[in-house]
Amino acid sequence: MNNKLWLALGAGILLVLAVSALFAPLIAPHHPLRQSLSEDLIAYSADHPLGTDKLGRDILSRVLHGGRISLLVGVSTVTLSLAIGLIVGSMSGFFGGWIDQLLMRLVDILVAFPGILLAIAFTAVLGPGLDHVVIALCLIGWTSYARLVRGEILALREREFVQAARALGCRPKRIIWHHLLPNLLPPLLIQATFGLAAAIVAEGSLSFLGLGVEPPTPSWGSMLNDGRQFLLVAPHLTTYPGLAIMITVLALNLVGDALQERLTARNR
Amino acid sequence: MNRQADDSNPVKHYLIQRLLFLLPTLLGALTLVFVLIHLIPGDPVEVMLGETATSADKQELRRNLGLDQPLLTQYRNFLTNLAAGDLGRSLYEQADVAEIIGARLPATLQLALCAMIAALAISFSLAILAAVNRGRWPDRGALLFSLFGLSLPNFWLGPLLMIAFSIQLGWTPVSGRGGISHLVLPALTLGLGMAAILTRILRASLLQVMTDDFVRTARAKGLPEKQVWLKHTLRNALMSVITIMSLQFGALLAGSLITETIFSWPGIGRLTVQAIQTRDYPLVQGCVLVIALSYILVNFLTDLLYKLVDPRVSYE
């Protein structure tokens, strides 16, 4: 399959996932928290196509609502990390000197820490909750964007159009916003695609450990954790949230790879 | 004179430079770990002991943890104790944190090592197969494996493998630590992500090196194909593998938290999760510290390993 088809496939899957997450309250056949203890651990029924969990809650409805949490955490984490990375990387690359040294040493120190471990440690002390998860994931998440932006700006600032803008007396802020940023967008978009996939998996990991979203709100990671104790009698409890995470990450990887290949081909 | 001596020994110069760089990194990591306990919302002692604890118990714990001291004194004591190998005392296990971690460390190292071996074995076989058969079905298969491997989170892969191989087929034990059969599923769960990344990177490196002039020359002068691969192609493609392995080691350590929890593997990962669940914060601090320091140490050793693999790497 060629690059265009991979991109279309990935983007198509993402569109379906985003629409189903956005309109989950309208699409979902049941309320995700509605319990029916007489219908617990059903594998399949006409009323519950993906079955029910230990409290008789509809898995399909919970998977659809869980997608909202995963995408919300992913998009929030990427947006916040991107904003911080953009500011730090621009300052570091554009001004150079001691500002660059100071900021990049800070990045080096943070990168020396395994990101997900720091996120686990912070959510462990701060307590579960969506806002805590996003903050914890951003703690190290911004560093990759900062490094990327700095590197790109170092290369761009010597180009003729930037030198011309300087010679015309443009202020640093204007040069960064109007001349450098538009050129930074393609690599940042690719990084953000992979960052979104990583954030979704990280949120899943935190929820799996009971450090993500608080119960009974459904999230793919917490659904997997709940289903773990019923592996023998009800494997469907782990199958569907796991598939949802895998398909989302797969689609993001497809889009990221295809965009990366396009950018490499263009630069060649 | 000294400078001349240093310049004449680039390895020593490089080592000193790297060690000097290691210091702020280490200090940064230690500060982050120190800060952890102070981020607990409200009174950390109340959070750890619960609201029903007597004020005498709270006072005792506050004194034991040094929380009754000014912040700077606490930080100084934290670093001094650490230098003496004292990581504090667990709240519930009535033992030193260092002792508890020491008892669990071999299990985690064993699992991480096996996961790495599994990842290397899978990725080398697939990448060589893919590079030799570029554009044909083994190549496409390897790329598909890589794509799916990267998309499968280990907190789903673990239960999947458990359902298939332990519950349905009965080939491996469900959980716990014992012989090699106990290791297979946890090692695969932990190593598959790394295998997926390595396959992709190694394939790309091999394809690039295979077209380099020195490989063509080696073939032209009549070297056997086995030697061309082992001495020229694979060795030159190894650099990227080392870089990725070092970067992935952090993911491996952090991944051990989930994998060990799924398979009830008695290592540091499971210990950390248990400590988080029981709010044994001194133990959480100790575990996070040991994992982070291992990661920093591995990155440092990787830098030194580059020279061994590729003598062209300059220490200047």
How far is the first Cα of chain B from the last one, in angstroms, to the nearest whole number? 18
Cis peptide bond prior to B311, omega within 30° of 0: no
| CB–CB contacts below 8 A, A to B | 123
What per-residue confidence (pLDDT) applies to A228? 85
SS3 label, residue A52: strand
Contact criterion met (CB < 8 Å) for A112 and B150: no
Considering only CB atoms, which chain A residues are within 8 Å of B163? 231, 235, 238
3 state SS for A53-95: CCCCCEHHHHHHHHHHHHHHHHHHHHHHHHHHHHHHHHHHHHH
> Range with the lowest mean pLDDT among A48-52, B31-35, B183-187, B302-306?
B302-306
Q: Percent of chain B having pLDDT more than 70? A: 94
Q: Which carries the bigger pLDDT value, residue A37 or residue A267?
A: A37
Please determine, for residue B232, whether its predicted confidence score (pLDDT) is greater than 90: no
Q: List, in order, residues 6 or more apart from A219 with CB less than 8 Å away.
A: A66, A69, A70, A203, A204, A207, A212, A213
Contact criterion met (CB < 8 Å) for A250 and B253: no
DSSP for residue A37 = G
Report the interhelical angle of B180-210 vs B137-151 (nearest 10°). 130
What per-residue confidence (pLDDT) applies to B46? 79
Contact criterion met (CB < 8 Å) for B163 and A235: yes
Each residue's pLDDT tens digit, A97-108 = 899 988 988 888
Q: Which of residues 137-166 of B touch A (CB under 8 A)?
A: 147-148, 150-153, 155-156, 159-160, 162-163
Considering only CB atoms, which chain B residues are within 8 Å of A204? 153, 155
Q: How confident is the model at residue B7 (pLDDT cuts 50, 70, 90)?
A: low
Arithmetic mean of pLDDT, B158-162 = 92
Tokens of B211: 């077209």
What ipTM goes with this model?
0.85
Please determine, for residue B247, whether its predicted confidence score (pLDDT) is greater than 80: no
Alpha-carbon gap, residue A213 to A247, rounded angstroms = 21
Please determine, for residue B1, whether its predicted confidence score (pLDDT) is greater than 50: no
Please determine, for residue B72, whether its predicted confidence score (pLDDT) is greater than 70: yes
Q: Percent of chain A having pLDDT more than 70? A: 99
| Residue A268 C-alpha, separation from nearest chain B C-alpha, in angstroms | 16
Each residue's pLDDT tens digit, B104-143 = 999 999 999 999 999 999 999 999 999 989 889 999 999 9
Q: How confident is the model at residue B190 (pLDDT cuts 50, 70, 90)?
A: very high
Contact criterion met (CB < 8 Å) for B24 and A245: no
Residues in chain A: 268
Task: State the greatest distance between any 2 C-alpha atoms of chain A, in Å, as a whole number.
Answer: 76
Question: Which chain B residue has the Cα nearest residue A240?
Answer: B156
Please determine, for residue B222, whether its predicted confidence score (pLDDT) is greater than 50: yes
Q: Write the burial class of residue A255 (CB in 10 Å: 0-12 exposed, 13-18 middle, 19+ buried).
A: buried
Mean model confidence pLDDT for chain A: 90
Contact criterion met (CB < 8 Å) for A120 and B276: yes
Please determine, for residue A2, whether its predicted confidence score (pLDDT) is greater than 80: no
Residue located via tokens 């920093």:
B296
Please determine, for residue B199, whether its predicted confidence score (pLDDT) is greater than 80: yes
> Is B67 in the A-facing interface, judged by CB distances under 8 Å?
no
Question: Which chain A residue has the Cα nearest residue B284?
Answer: A121
Q: List, in order, residues 6 or more apart from A146 with CB less than 8 Å away.
A: A84, A85, A86, A88, A89, A92, A103, A107
Alpha-carbon gap, residue B123 to B205, rounded angstroms = 13
Please determine, for residue B24, whether its predicted confidence score (pLDDT) is greater than 90: no
Considering only CB atoms, which chain B residues are within 8 Å of A105? 24
Q: List, in order, residues 6 or more apart from B275 with CB less than 8 Å away.
A: B90, B281, B283, B284, B287
3 state SS for chain B: CHHHHHHHCHHHHHHHHHHHHHHHHHHHHHHHHHHHHHCCCCCHHHHHHCCCCCHHHHHHHHHHHCCCCCHHHHHHHHHHHHHCCCCCECCCCCCEHHHHHHHHHHHHHHHHHHHHHHHHHHHHHHHHHHHHCCCCHHHHHHHHHHHHHHHCCHHHHHHHHHHHHHHHCCCCCCCCCCCHHHHHHHHHHHHHHHHHHHHHHHHHHHHHHHCCHHHHHHHHCCCCHHHHHHHHHHHHHHHHHHHHHHHHHHHHHHHHHHHHHHCCCCCHHHHHHHHHHCCCHHHHHHHHHHHHHHHHHHHHHHHHHHHHHCCCCCCC
Please determine, for residue B25, whether its predicted confidence score (pLDDT) is greater than 70: yes
Residue B208: closest CA among B237, B240, B238, B242 = B237
Cross-chain CB nearest to B39 (options A122, A204, A224): A122
* Mutation to test the A interface, candidates B46, B65, B155, B263, most A Cβ within 10 Å: B155
> Range with the lowest mean pLDDT among A68-77, A252-261, B147-156, B218-227?
B218-227
Contact criterion met (CB < 8 Å) for B155 and A208: yes
What per-residue confidence (pLDDT) applies to B258? 92
Contact criterion met (CB < 8 Å) for B163 and A231: yes
Arithmetic mean of pLDDT, A185-213 = 91
Cross-chain CB nearest to B36 (options A116, A121, A211): A121
Q: Are A100 and A150 in contact (CB under 8 A)?
A: yes
Considering only CB atoms, which chain B residues are within 8 Å of A256? none
Tokens of A130: 């969506």
What per-residue confidence (pLDDT) applies to B307? 66
Radius of gyration over every alpha carbon of chain A, rounded to an integer in angstroms? 22
What per-residue confidence (pLDDT) applies to B310? 66
What per-residue confidence (pLDDT) applies to B315? 53
Q: How confident is the model at residue B313 (pLDDT cuts 50, 70, 90)?
A: low
Each residue's pLDDT tens digit, A131-185 = 999 999 999 899 999 999 999 888 888 888 888 988 988 888 888 888 888 888 8
Please determine, for residue B172, whether its predicted confidence score (pLDDT) is greater than 60: yes
Alpha-carbon gap, residue B212 to B217, rounded angstroms = 9
